[in-house]
Structure 1
Amino acid sequence: MMLLKLKYLKKYKSFAPLPLLLVKDKVYVKDLVVMNQEDIHGAQQKALLVLFFYLEYAMDYLIQFVKVKNQHKVFRNFVFESEAYSTEAGFNDQNSRKLGSFIKFYGKKYAYE
C-alpha cells in the first residue's frame, strides 16, 4: 500500500482504497491496531477484486441504514467492518486469512454499538 496523509478525514483515522492507505495523522501509521485493521480491509478488497468489495459495501450500507438509521451503528455493523474490528488486535498474517472469512459476520451485530 502507498501511504498518504489526508487532513480531510474528519471522523476516521484511516481509509484504505487499494492501493492507497490514507491516514488522518502520521501517528496512526505507528498504531499497530489501526494498521492491522487496514490490512484486513486490503485483504477483503483483494478477495473481492476491489470492485465487488465496494459494491457489497454500498449494498450493506443501504441495508443497515434502513434497519438502524444511525450513522455510527450503521458503520459498526457493516460486515467488512465487523470482521476488521473483531480481528484487528490479532495481528494475523493477512496472507493466511481465509478467502471468505467475512461471510460469518453477516447478520451479526458488532459489539461496539
Structure 2
Amino acid sequence: MKVIVAKYLTPVGFRAITLFPFVIIRSKEALLDPHLLTHERIHIHQQRELLVVFFYVWYILEFLIRWLLLRDRKAAYRALSFEREAYTNENDPHYLKRRSLYSFLSYF
C-alpha cells in the first residue's frame, strides 16, 4: 500500500480515498489512525480481487442504486457492500489475515 498525503486530492468530507495502488490521505495526523489504515487496506484487497476496474464499476452502480432507493447520499455510501465490510472490520488489525476472497458479498 502506497500512501500519499494530499489534502486537495481527498474528497471533502473524507479522510482518505483508495485508488489502487495508492491510498490518498488528507493529513499526516490520519496516518496515525490504525483503524483508518485498516479500512483502506480492506479497500486495496477488494480492488485487487476485482481487478480494479470491476471494483469501480460495481462501486458506482451499487452507489447509484442505493442512492435511488435511500434518497440520501451519505446513507447510500454507508450501505455499500464494500464500505460495510471496511467499516465493520476496521477495528480488527488481523481481519485481512483471515479474510476470504470476495468477502464483501456477504455484506451485499
TM-score range, shorter chain: over 0.9
Which of the residues 46, 49, 70 maps onto 1:47? 49
Aligned-pair RMSD on alpha carbons?
A: 1.1
User: Percent identity between the aligned chains?
Assistant: 29
2:22 is aligned with what amino acid? Answer: L
Map 1:62-81 onto structure 2 (within 5 A).
Answer: 62-81=64-83
- Which whole-Å CA distance do the structure 2 matches of 1:37 and 1:45 have between them? 13
Q: Which residue of 2 aligns with 1:15?
A: 17
Encode CA deviations 1:8-53: one digit per residue, 9 max, x unaligned: 2221001111111100101111100000000000010111111110
**TM-score, normalization by structure 2:** 0.92
Q: Deviations over 1:44-83 (max 9, x none)?
A: 0111111110010011011101101111101100110000
Counterpart secondary structure, 2:93: coil
Matched positions, count: 106
For structure 1, list consecutive stretches of 5 or more residues without a partner in the other structure.
107-113
Give the whole-Å Cα distance in 2 for the aligned partners of 1:83 and 1:51.
19
> Structure 1: how far apart are the matches of 2:3 and 2:17?
10
Where does 1:1-113 land on structure 2 (aligned, <5 Å)? Answer: 1-8=1-8, 9=10, 10-92=12-94, 94-106=96-108
How far apart, CA to CA, are the structure 2 residues paired with 1:40 and 1:69?
27
User: Could you say which structure has the higher helix fraction?
Assistant: 2
- Structure 2 gaps, min length 5: none
